[in-house]
Amino acid sequence: MMLLTCPWCGPRNSTEFRFGGESHPRPRPDAATPEEWRDYLYFATNPRGWSRETWYHGSGCRRYFAIERHTETNEHRAIDERRAAEARR
Amino acid sequence: MHPTNGRVNGHHRRNGTPRYSAWSLVQHGLTGAEWSRAWRAHPMRKSYDVVIVGGGVHGLATAYYLATNHGIRNIAVLEKGYIGGGGSGRNTAILRSNYLTPEGVRFYDRSIKLYERLAADLNFNVMFSQRGHLTLAHNDASLRTMHWRAEVNKLQNVDSEVIGPDKIKELVPYLDTSTTTRYPILGALYHPPGGIIRHDAVVWGYARTADANGVHIHQKTEVTGIDVEGGRVTGVQTDQGRIATPVVVNCTAGWATLISDMAGVRMPVQTFPLQAAVTEPVKPFLDTVVVSGTLHVYVSQTDRGELVFGASVDPFASYSMRGSLEFTEGVAGHVLELMPAVSKMRLLRQWAGLCDMTPDYSPIMGPTEVEGFYVDVGWGTYGFKAGPVSGEAMADCIANQRPPEIISAFGIDRFLQGRLVGEKGAAAVGH
Ligand SMILES: Cc1cc2nc3c(=O)[nH]c(=O)nc-3n(C[C@H](O)[C@H](O)[C@H](O)COP(=O)(O)OP(=O)(O)OC[C@H]3O[C@@H](n4cnc5c(N)ncnc54)[C@H](O)[C@@H]3O)c2cc1C
Ligand SMILES: [Zn+2]
C-alpha cells in the first residue's frame, strides 16, 4: 500500500490512481526522426531512485498530474516547477 | 575447500561434480554427514573470455551451454547476492509453450523440449511435472484469443486445444463451472505438456554442471561499471576488483537497465514488482495449472501440497520487493471465485520479485551497439520457462558472433523498425 498525494485532493491510497509512467517530452510530429519516436514510445530511463512520472487520479478529481517518486522507497514529492523548468531549458 | 577428485564424504566427485546415487543418499541419511559443495568458490581471475552478469537461470544456462556446446570455459558468472536470489528463486515455476506469435511459440517450445531432458543432461532431478495447463476464458473476446492461440500452436506442433466447461470440470473438479458466477467459465485453452518445475533445482543443476565444466561462479560480487573503449567492451568493474574481458552478457532481469546504462546502451525496459503467495500444505487435489486472465489470478498445487497463487504485476514501476495488502486481498478473492472450496485454507507467505517488462511482452536478446556487450533481458513475468533455450541461443550467439535464427525476431533493433512481437495476449497473467 502506498499513500500518494494528489496536488488537488491531498493524500489518498494509491489504488485510487492509475500509473502513467515516466514523463518524457513528446517529439514534434513534423520534425521527429524514427529514433526520436522510438525513444519516446518505447525507451525508458527506469531509474532506481527518483523518477519523474505521470499519474491519473481516476477515483478522485480525474486529473492527470506529474510527481517525483523514488522507485525503491516509494517516497514522493511535488515537482519543483522552477527546477523542472531549468531542466527543460 | 574439498579436493576436486576422488571420494569425498562417501560419494564421488568426477570433473569436480559430486555424483549422487541411491547408495550415497542412504549413507548420508544414516550418518548425517555433510554433502560436499555442488559448486565451488574460486579466486577471481584477472581476465575471462566471457563475463556473465547475473546468477539466475539465464546467466547460469548461458554459461553452461557456452562450456558444453562450444567449449568456451574461461567464463565468470558474477552475482551480487546468491545464485537464484532474483526472479529465478521467486517465480511460480510454470512452464508452457502455448504462446500467441509463431516466433514465440517456436522459441518456448524449444525450451520445453530442453526442459524435458534437463534432468538427464544435468544429472540432477529438476522435478519437471507436465501436469497440464488450463487458461480459462470468461468472455467471448478471450475465447476468441484462445482459439487463435490454439491454431497458432497446432501449426507449430504444440499440443494445445480449446475445451468446454464439461471437460474442464472433469480435469479440475473443484473449479466452480456453474453459470451463476460473476464471470462464468465459457471454455479454456488446454495445454497438456505445460506444468511446473522445481525452480531452485534448475538453478542449482545448471550451476553445478557449469562449475564442473570450469565455469567460475562468483557470488557476492556486484558489477559496478562496464569499461567501454572505442565502442567495444574491455572489462567490468566489480566491488571485488576489475576483470578484463571482451564479452559481457547482461542477464540481470529486473536490474537490466542499471547494467545496460553502465555500457551506455538504452533499452525499452521498465521494472515492475510481481507478487506471489503460498498456502499451508493440504492433500493433493489439483493436478493441473489453472490460469484466469479475466480474474488476474493463477493457481497450482506443489508436490508438497501447498497452493501457489500468482497474479499480474503491481500497478506501478518499482524496485521495491515489498508485498502489499491489495495483492493478498485481490488474489484471495479471485481464487475463491474460482474455487470456493478452499476458503478455509490459510496463506503462509507472500513475496515479490522484480520483472523487466518490455512494451511487447517479448524478450530482448542478442548483440547491442556496443561491441561485445550482449543482452538477454526483458523476461518480464514469464522468463523462467525460457532459461534453457535462452542459454542455448545466447551461447550460440556469442560463440558464432551472430544471433541464431530462433532469436532473430527478438533483437533490440525491432523497436526502431516497428517489428514488435506482441505477446501480451498470451503473457500478461499466465506467466
Ligand atoms: C512472483 C514471480 C512469479 C513468476 N512466475 C513465473 C512463471 O510461473 N513462469 C515463468 O516462466 N516465469 C515466471 N516469472 C519470471 C521469472 O522469474 C524471470 O523472468 C526469470 O527468473 C528471470 O531469470 P534471470 O536469470 O534472467 O534473472 P534473475 O533470476 O532475476 O537473476 C538476475 C540476477 O542478477 C543479479 N544482479 C543484479 N544486478 C547485479 C549486479 N550489478 N552485479 C551482479 N549481479 C547482479 C541479481 O542479484 C539476480 O540474482 C515470475 C517472476 C516472479 C517475480
Ligand atoms: Zn485528485
Write the CB contacts of B396 (distance below 8 Å, at least 6 apart in sequence): B65, B69, B70, B404
Q: Are B305 and B284 in contact (CB under 8 A)?
A: yes
H-helix or E-strand spanning residue B397: helix B387-400
User: How far apart are alpha carbons B382 and B356 in whole angstroms?
Assistant: 10
> In this model, does residue B18 exceed pLDDT 80?
no
Helix axes B102-116, B140-155, angle to 10 degrees: 70
Is a pLDDT exceeding 50 seen at residue B197? yes
Question: What's CA B109's distance to the chain center, in Å?
Answer: 14
* d(C-alpha B190, C-alpha B318), whole Å: 34
Q: What is the nearest CA distance from A11 to chain B, expressed in angstroms?
A: 17
Locus of grid cell 472433469 = B170
- This model of the complex carries an ipTM of 0.91
Interval B106-122: pLDDT, tens: 999 999 999 999 999 99
* pLDDT (0 to 100) of residue A23: 86
User: Rounded CA gap, B413 and B405, in Å?
Assistant: 15
B296 is written with which cell numbers?
488476474
- Other Cβ atoms less than 10 A from the Cβ of B145: the count is 17
**Which helix (H) or strand (E) covers residue B291, if one does?**
strand B289-292
Of B257, B326, B416, the CB nearest to A34: B416
How high is the mean pLDDT of chain B?
Answer: 94
Search chain B and give the residue with CA nearest A43.
B268
A-chain CB neighbours of B415 within 8 Å are: 38, 41-43
Q: What is the pLDDT of residues A38-49, one digit of tens each?
A: 999 999 999 999
* Four-CA torsion A48, A51, A56, A60, nearest 10 degrees: 90
Q: Which of B384, B385, B394, B423 is the best mutation target for the ligand 1 pocket, counting ligand atoms within 8 Å of the beta carbon and taking the most?
A: B384
Q: Where does the pLDDT of residue B3 fall: very low under 50, low under 70, confident under 90, or very high at 90 and above?
A: very low
C-alpha distance from B333 to closest chain A C-alpha (Å): 16
pLDDT of residue B212 exceeding 70, the answer is: yes
Distance CA B334, CA B423 (A): 24
Question: Domains in chain A: how many in total?
Answer: 1
Task: Report yes or no: B30 at the A interface, CB cutoff 8 Å.
Answer: no
pLDDT at B35: 86
How large a percentage of chain B has pLDDT more than 70?
Answer: 96
Write the CATH number for A70.
Answer: 3.30.2270.10
Tell me the domains of chain B and their CATH numbers.
1-36 (no CATH), 50-93+200-266+360-427 (3.50.50.60), 121-198+270-357 (3.30.9.10)
In this complex, do B269 and A44 lie within 8 Å of one another by their Cβ atoms? yes
Question: What's the mean per-residue pLDDT of chain A?
Answer: 90
CB B300 within 8 A of CB B207: no
Using CA atoms, how far apart are residues B406 and B404, in angstroms rounded to an integer? 6
CA-nearest of B419, B384, B101 to B251 is B384
Judged by average pLDDT, the poorest of A60-64, A77-81, B25-29, B282-286 is A77-81
For residue B21, pLDDT over 90 is answered with no
Q: Mutation test of ligand 1: which of B51, B77, B92 has the most ligand atoms closer than 8 Å to its C-beta?
A: B92
Give the tens place of pLDDT for each residue, B334-351.
Answer: 999 999 999 999 999 999
Cross-strand pairs, B129: B196
Q: Which long-range contacts (CB under 8 A, 24 or more apart) does B122-125 make?
A: B122/B205, B122/B206, B122/B208, B122/B209, B123/B17, B123/B19, B123/B20, B123/B209, B124/B20, B124/B201, B124/B204, B124/B205, B124/B208, B124/B209, B125/B198, B125/B201
Residue A58's domain spans which residues? 3-88
